Structure 1
Amino acid sequence: MYIEKFKKRLTDVLFYPKLCKYEDVIENVPQYLELLNRRSINGIDGLVIYIHVPFCNRFCFYCSYFKEPLSHYDYYARKKYFEAICKELRMYKNFEHFKTKKVKAIQFGGGTPSLVEPDFLRMVIQEIKENFNCAECELITMEGNPASLLKDEKLEAFYDIGVQRLSIGVQTFNKELRKKLLIESTVEQIYEVTEKINKIGYRDYSMDLMYNLPGEKVQQVVDDIQEMVKLGPKFIDIYSLNIFPNTKFKEVIDKGNYFKEKPSERKNILMTASVINTFKELKYNQVMSFTYSKEETKAPPHVDYFFNGGSVLGLGPSSRSYLDGVNFRNVPDVKKYMSMIDKGEYPIDCGMLVSKEEQDRKKMVFFPLYLVQDKSELEDIQIYRSTIDRLKELGYISEDDKYLHITEEGKKWTGNIATCFFSQKEKAKHNISFLKSMKENENPYNQDAMGVSMEKRRKWKNDWDCL
């Protein structure tokens, strides 16, 4: 494949190889999971346990993560959900794969984990400690929004059960945009929660920003960064907006009567360059393609394990597991998930066994995220030599005796660079997955109904009540 100079910016690649429910069908799940009783290939003993908490008060317009309205689940239904999480956890504990693994981090994501009762998270943490080796657990981290963290002394309660780190979704400080994007928390609550986090004594916290939002100007992105820097989070994650086909969000943007101005490719490129330059002027370290820090030079440990070959066990609907080449995704449906757990069935939607070659190739696909790649970690760099040389010619990467580096120009195109290292099989699979999702009226992100416009939900039963 001949690589041309990039013109359309692609989003960062966060999953490789891709899981596709149409291509990665598992005929016999228990037999498939017997692969977890084999000897470890990569020798990395770290394990991250991810728990998906799929409840939200309000569905932000742009979000494609699996979630369901909290109002559909009373206290007892939520308790039953977390009991199912604990049961799923116990279903995995006896596999040989986990007997040599040491839990390095526990992560609660969503959804909005900060909405639920802290005692439910305590129950899961205790279950993990009783069934897995947590002697070297470095971190318990949780995602949350300011509105829910400020209620009922939640911040104090989560701290008391052992949560050390928080990830706070901000997206933008622009009040008009926040309202249009259906973001629940107010700007005032962002300031208030930051003050309380620092007062209580959390080890650290990160905050998310998003750019190329509908109607957003380049200067607004710069203003958002400068405002967030004043708050002092240890890490700032910043992403360009993704708009998935088949969704209500895309439909509203295309109609043009709700947002004054559509996101554009031109602004995406300009804003990406502005993000990089603004953080550089503020003397922040770019620790990953989308992460910046004033103090740190490396990514948070749970993020590093995820991208750098460590094992990740995902619990809950739609969660993904990456266990030394045994990669699978759970069903994206709470009721189906709980029914399968209740029957003693593994709630797996699709899965694959990743070849040693693809696991090695993953290092090159994720190299743009880290901005550097140690060449000695690759089994055979010559496999990628023609691609490397072409990207060097175009000025996107550089090379010395020991490392490959993403150049300043390349930092604007990290998603594009990553896709250049896809295998032919993976390129074909991505295309098939996308086309199948389009045909089935699904959101291509998770191959489910999340955010799908009502007109396209012929095969889906659950309503999506965003507007």
Structure 2
Amino acid sequence: MIQAAYLHIPFCTHICHYCDFNKVFLKGQPVAEYLQAMEQEMKRTVAQFPAERVQTIFIGGGTPTALDIRQLDFLLENIHRYLPCTVDKVEFTVEANPNELSREKLQCLKDAGVNRLSIGVQTFNDTLLRRIGRTHQTRDVWQAVETAKAVGFTNISIDLIYGLPGQTLEQLQKDLAVAFSLDVPHISAYSLIIEPKTVFYNLMRKGKLSLPSQDEEAEMYEETMKQMQQHGYVQYELSNYARSGFESQHNLTYWNNEYYYGIGAGAHSYMNGIRNVNIGPVKKYIELIEKGQLPYVERHEVNERERMEEEMFLGLRKIEGVSKQRFYEKFHRSLNDVFGDVIAKEKANGLLEETETHVRLTHRGKLLGNVVFEAFLHVS
């Protein structure tokens, strides 16, 4: 059963130095035609892959809030027209830049049933913000959160990044202190990953990017986990922390390895056992839709072995780990029957632990998660 829908807005007013998502500069782009193409993709996708009711909707990017109010209205109206959801029961998230959240846009989102905001903060250090290519300043975050609360948003998440070029542990501690003072119920904190085809990747190849060492980055992660716990935020996934009841249900769809729609240029979907990747370039996406097609450039039917592997490396991102009962219900085989040798090895390495109901990462395993995830791939 399809649980969620992701919609991709690839337009940005500025490209951040670390971003490798499918995105283009907003200026000169066929935004209206793109939104019309998204409408047709929604219509055709739901007709071909019906769902009784999606539990979560997430509009990401790019930068969804780069759209003007008229464009946002058009998109939001079509979401309600084509996606099967109950307004008062769906978790409806929109990603936002702090300096693009006017009161008018916030009211537009609220009136259309959006009930969760994910605000890209990254850091509260204005020097670091400029260094990573962000266009907002710390004061914009305060203004955005204050206005969002005034409009009626209670479910607000902010994103932080640590391990930034030249960042120190002390600067991270200051970032966390400011984050806690905002009094929002959800905080994501990710380590910086240098991806190909980004400004930072090119700088790194030229030896012009000064990053914290692996030990310093690990210390930042340890500090983040400690501070979150002290301030009442429960770590429910490797990089995500929430007050009780404010966990991201949309992201849990991914980590629980459930089905979801993916609409828009470069979007991914997982429906009826098939993983699809949409074509990335905006104009090529529009062309395929105008030809009456769905915009898939990659389709992969996931076999049972791959599904079991995915269940492990996605599920182990959750702090509770992988449920033995859920694994059995999905695959009609016990977790230890399939992966017993790998689990035993990683337990001996101190990276996994086992309870009566779950297999999960240890504290040390959280620091070396990718090592554990890789251990479950291509196991004979």
TM-score, L = length of structure 2: 0.92
User: Matched residues in 2 for 1:311 and 1:120: separation?
Assistant: 28
How far the C-alpha of 1:254 sits from its partner, in A, is 4.2
**Structure 1: 5+ residue runs without aligned partners?**
1-44, 426-467
Are residue 369 (structure 1) and residue 317 (structure 2) matched? yes
Q: Is the 8 A contact 1:114 1:143 kept in 2?
A: yes
Which amino acid counterpart does residue 375 of structure 2 have in structure 1?
Answer: C
Q: Cα offset for 1:373?
A: 1.8
Residues 198, 332 of structure 1: alpha-carbon distance in 2 compared, 3 angstrom cutoff: same
Q: Give distance in 2, aligned partners of 1:383 and 1:339.
A: 45
- 2:260 partner SS: strand
Aligned counterparts of 1:89 and 1:227: Cα–Cα separation in 2: 39
- Distance (whole Å) between structure 1 residues aligned to residue 111 and residue 297 of structure 2: 35
Q: Is 1:272 aligned to residue 221 of structure 2?
A: yes
Partner of residue 145 from structure 1, selected from 68, 91, 97: 97
Please give the secondary structure, in 1, of the residue aligned with 2:247. Answer: coil
Give 3-state SS (helix, strand or coil) of 1:395's partner. Answer: coil
Structure 2 letter corresponding to 1:420: A
Residue matched to 1:111: 62
State the AA in 1 paired with 2:16.
C
Equivalent-residue separation in structure 2 for 1:87 and 1:243 (angstroms): 35
- Residue type of the alignment partner of 2:170: Q
State the shift of 1:186 in Å.
Answer: 0.9
* CA spacing shift, 1:135–1:280, aligned 2, 3 Å: closer
* In structure 1, distance between residues paired with 2:374 and 2:21: 22
Q: 1:246, CA displacement in angstroms?
A: 4.9
Retained in 2: the 8 A contact 1:49–1:105? yes
Q: Deviations over 1:28-78 (max 9, x none)?
A: xxxxxxxxxxxxxxxxx34312110011111000011111111122xxx32
Residue number in structure 1 paired with 2:278: 330
Aligned-residue CA RMSD (Å): 1.9
The corresponding residue for 1:84 is 37
Q: What secondary structure, in the 3-state scheme, does the structure 2 residue paired with 1:208 have?
A: strand
Q: How does 1:229-240 map to 2 (within 5 A)?
A: 229-240=180-191
Question: 1:348 and 1:405 mapped to 2: Cα distance?
Answer: 35
Match of 2:334 among 367, 380, 383: 380
> 2-side partners of 1:161 and 1:55: how far apart?
21
Once the two structures are superposed, residues 162-195 of structure 1 have per-residue CA deviations (whole angstroms, 9 ceiling, x without a partner) of 2111100011111111111110111110111111
Please give the alpha-carbon distance, in whole angstroms, between the structure 1 residues aligned to 2:55 and 2:124. Answer: 33
% identical equivalent positions: 27
In 1, distance between residues paired with 2:197 and 2:70?
A: 38
Distance 1:361 1:262 in 2: 33
Q: 2:298 matched to which residue of 1?
A: 350
The aligned residue for residue 49 of structure 1 is 5
Contact 1:46–1:305 (CA under 8 A) maintained in structure 2: no
Post-superposition CA distance 1:242-263 (Å, at most 9, x none): 1124543122234455x5x324
- State the partner residue of 2:330: none
In the alignment, structure 1 residue 414 sits paired with structure 2 residue 369: yes
Structure 2 residue matching 1:147: 3-state secondary structure: helix
Q: Is the 2:65–2:101 contact (alpha carbons within 8 Å) kept by the matching residues of 1?
A: yes
Q: 2:254 touches 2:314 (CA, 8 Å); kept in 1? A: no
1:203-242 matches, within 5 Å, as 203-242=154-193
- Name the structure 2 match of 1:184: 135
C-alpha distance in 2 between matches for 1:246 and 1:81: 24
**Contact 1:288–1:299 (8 Å) recurs in 2:** no
Q: Residue 107 of structure 2 aligns with which residue?
A: 156
1:281 positional shift: 2.8
Task: Please list every run of 5 or more consecutive structure 2 residues that lacks an aligned counterpart in the other structure.
Answer: 328-332
Partner Cα distance (2:119, 2:108) in 1: 17
Q: Name 1:195's counterpart in structure 2.
A: 146
CA distance in 2, matches of 1:246, 1:321: 23
Post-superposition offset of 1:84: 0.7
For 1:59, the equivalent position in structure 2 comes to 15
Q: CA separation in 1, counterparts of 2:339 and 2:65? A: 43
Q: Shift of residue 156 of structure 1?
A: 1.8
Equivalent residue letter for 1:140? F
Partners of 2:302 and 2:359 lie apart in 1 by 25
Evaluate the alpha carbon distance shift between residue 87 and residue 384 of structure 1 in structure 2; reply closer, same or farther with a 3 A threshold: same
**Cα distance in 1 between the residues matched to 2:46 and 2:357:** 39
Structure 1 119/105 Cα, relative in aligned 2: closer, same or farther at 3 Å?
Answer: farther
Residues 167-178 of structure 1: pairs in structure 2 closer than 5 A: 167-178=118-129
Residue 7 of structure 1 is matched in structure 2 by none
Aligned-partner SS, 2:94: strand
* Structure showing greater relative contact order (alpha-carbon pairs closer than 8 Å, 6 or more residues apart): 1
What is the alpha-carbon distance in structure 1 between the residues aligned to residue 338 and residue 238 of structure 2? 24
Q: Contact 2:77–2:112 (CA<8 Å) still a contact in 1? A: no
The separation in 2 between residues aligned to 1:139 and 1:294, in whole angstroms, is: 16
Amino acid paired to 1:351:
R
Q: Quick one: structure 1 residues 138 and 63, their matched pair in 2 at CA, closer, same or farther if it must change by over 3 Å?
A: same
Q: Alignment length, in residue pairs? A: 372
Match of 1:317 among 265, 268, 277: 265
Partner of 1:41: none
Give the aligned residue type for 1:248. Answer: V
Secondary structure, aligned partner of 2:22: coil
Q: Distance in 2 between matches of 1:140 and 1:278?
A: 28
Aligned-pair distance for 1:415? 2.5
